[in-house]
Structure 1
Amino acid sequence: MLRWLRQLFNTSPLEFDESWRPELVSGFQHWSLLSQAELDRMEMLVTRFMATIDWEAANGFELTEQIKVLIAAQASMLLLGLDLDGYDDVTSVIVHPANVRLRGNRPSGGGTFSSAPIVISGQAHYQGPVLLSWAAARRGARFPEHGHNVVYHEFAHRLDMLDGVTDGTPPLEDAAAMARWTAVCTAAYDEVRAQGSPVLRPYAGTNPAEFFAVATEVFFNQPHELCEHEPALYGELRSFYGQDPAARISRPRRHHQHG
């Protein structure tokens, strides 16, 4: 979509399409946990996402309105408590029917490269597209107790990238917040790498960027567990996102997470 058209949508009034509501209520478990004030903002965020993001279907996949709105709502959930109304630097969302097998040389860490194929459910590109598996996105929306959500994960990367560096630290309000965030997240990241975690899966130890993305998934999906095992980390995420998912859930959801 042309940049001028994006700007037009950004300034024009947009209306939430009531035909989206049944899919959001039935397909996105977190939707029913929101207060009326949160729902009002979410409806605006979803409407804006639907209007301003370019959508692409991969491999002949039929990309329906229901698929788009369920992805839009999950991506918008991260913005609910932020001073952001959209992901303006996302060029498009590319939806595959299922996981994607990547081939070709790519960085594998430590200055080395790998050509071994890997299977992914999502991928975020700096100032570019976000690739998603619809099967994974639908599963994450319907079954948050599993702790995984590919849309939360990839759009957490996009928030991380807002300051131009993908380092697990999104833009924070001041130096004090930055120092506190760094201390808490570094300690939790080091612990995951050294001895694992009862709530953060091992992939969180890949690098600080993946730590933030995985922690975001758990923050929204298993907030009581994260608050119990990593209270300082939960506090930092609550402060950054301006949301308290644990307070939305009347009782803890218990789930044994496998690495």
Structure 2
Amino acid sequence: MLFLHNLFFSLGELIYSSFLTLKVRSKIQKLSKGDTNILENLFPYYKNLNQEHRKDFVSRLEWFIAEKEFVPRGDLKTVTPEMKLLISATAIMVTFGFKGVFLRHFRKILIYPNSYYSSINQQYHYGEVNPKLGMIVLSWEKFVEGFMHSQSGVNLGIHEMAHAMKLENQIHYNRESNFFNPHRWEVYAKEAKQEQNKILKGESDIFRASAGKNMHEFFAVALEVFFEKPLEFSTYNPKLYKSLVYLLKQDPLALSGNGSSAV
């Protein structure tokens, strides 16, 4: 009986996944020259990719945009194509080492103009990830601030996409889980725990205090620094940096006009 249950469950997953794939394919729109110009001018990660990886990046980006529902909230009346482009590009950057990973569990991206009040914990937020509702929530003001200070190591978009990616790795129904290599995760977790202890003692020079809250928060903060301050990160803690390179299967330090970020 258990075998039949698992078989029917797997078939159901496959049928549903195939249906969603066809649905997304029908919605895909090619990026315009204006879109790629925006990426080249505002998105250093894309600008530094070689031509082959730019093509791959754009293809994944088109798919991600088609797959998600972008919802304006609060006083934000509409989500512009530029908003969709930059938010989606951030997700593709964070997941670029994993072909076929599009954070499928998170089908809605809610965008507020600035901070918003959460009725769940009665606090104001700039961003959050809600796995129960399959939503990523962002403040556009704070998202843009991260872009304007792209080497600060503080980037709301990277932070929330990192949370979503970590959760996606643990969600099994959508055929997109377990993309993190378990051994690579163990190596990273060991190094991360040591660094987190330093944060709690006030001895960390590169990660902000919130990274000491728990390992979920540490991962999100670490990815902000990983993508925005890779040289400083790798110099400060080469073992932790290298563990993320192998875990995420990409190295921001290796990016150049003739190089690739994938490893």
TM range (shorter): 0.7 to 0.9
- Residues 180 and 247, structure 2, Cα contact 8 Å, conserved in 1: yes
C-alpha distance in 2 between matches for 1:131 and 1:91: 11
Q: Give the secondary-structure state (helix, strand or coil) at the position aligned to 2:79.
A: coil
Q: 1:16 to 1:9 in 2, by over 3 A?
A: farther
Q: Does 2:42 match 1:27?
A: yes
Q: CA RMSD in A?
A: 2.4
Higher RCO, 1 vs 2 (CA within 8 Å, ≥6 residues apart): 2
* Residue range with higher mean Cα deviation, 178-187 or 14-23: 14-23
2-structure distance, mates of 1:5, 1:221: 37
Alignment of 1:29-44 (within 5 A): 29-44=44-59
Q: Distance in 2 between matches of 1:150 and 1:229?
A: 23
Instruction: State the SS of the aligned residue for 2:201.
Output: helix
Equivalent-residue separation in structure 2 for 1:80 and 1:49 (angstroms): 12
Q: d(CA) in 1 for partners of 2:17 and 2:179? A: 24
Query: What are the equivalent positions in structure 2 for 1:238-257 lying under 5 Å apart?
Result: 238-248=245-255
* 2:129 aligned partner: 124
- Cα deviation code 1:106-127 (max 9, x no counterpart): 3xxxxxxxxxx43321100115
Residues of 2 paired with 1:79 and 1:164: CA distance?
Answer: 15
Q: Name the structure 2 match of 1:17.
A: 32
* Structure 2 unmatched ranges of 5 or more: 1-15, 172-177, 258-263
Q: Equivalent residue of 1:78, what SS? A: helix
- CA separation in 1, counterparts of 2:57 and 2:25? 18
The one-character-per-residue Cα deviations of 1:149-199 (angstroms, maximum 9, x if unpaired) are: 11111111111112438xxxx85324x334322211111111111224111
State the secondary structure of the residue aligned to 2:151.
Answer: helix
Q: Partner of 2:147 in structure 1? A: 141
1:67-86 matched pairs, under 5 angstroms: 67-86=83-102
Unaligned runs of 5+ in 1: 107-116, 251-259
Q: How many residues align?
A: 233
1:93 aligns with 2:109: yes
Instruction: Give 1:7 deviation, angstroms.
Output: 2.1
CA 1:31–1:83 in 2, change beyond 3 Å: closer, same or farther? Answer: closer
Cα 1:241/1:210, change in 2 over 3 Å:
same
- Name the structure 1 match of 2:163: 157
* Residue identity matched to 2:180: L
Shift of 1:86: 1.0
Q: What is the CA-CA distance between 1:4 and the residue it aligns to?
A: 7.3
Residue 15 of structure 1: how far off its partner (Å): 3.2
For residues 254 and 184 of structure 2, the distance between their equivalents in structure 1, rounded to whole angstroms, comes to 23
Which residues of 2 match residues 59-74 of structure 1 at below 5 A? 59-61=74-76, 62-74=78-90
CA contact (8 A) 1:81 1:243 kept: yes
Tell whether the 8 Å contact from 2:90 to 2:161 is kept in structure 1 after alignment: no
Secondary structure of 1:59's match?
coil
Distance verdict in 2 for CA 1:9–1:237, change over 3 Å? farther
Identical aligned residues as a percent: 23
Q: Summarize the Cα distance change of 1:119–1:11 in structure 2 as closer, same or farther, 3 Å threshold.
A: same
CA separation of 1:248 and 1:163: change in aligned 2, threshold 3 A: closer
The alpha carbon displacement at 1:143 in A equals 2.2
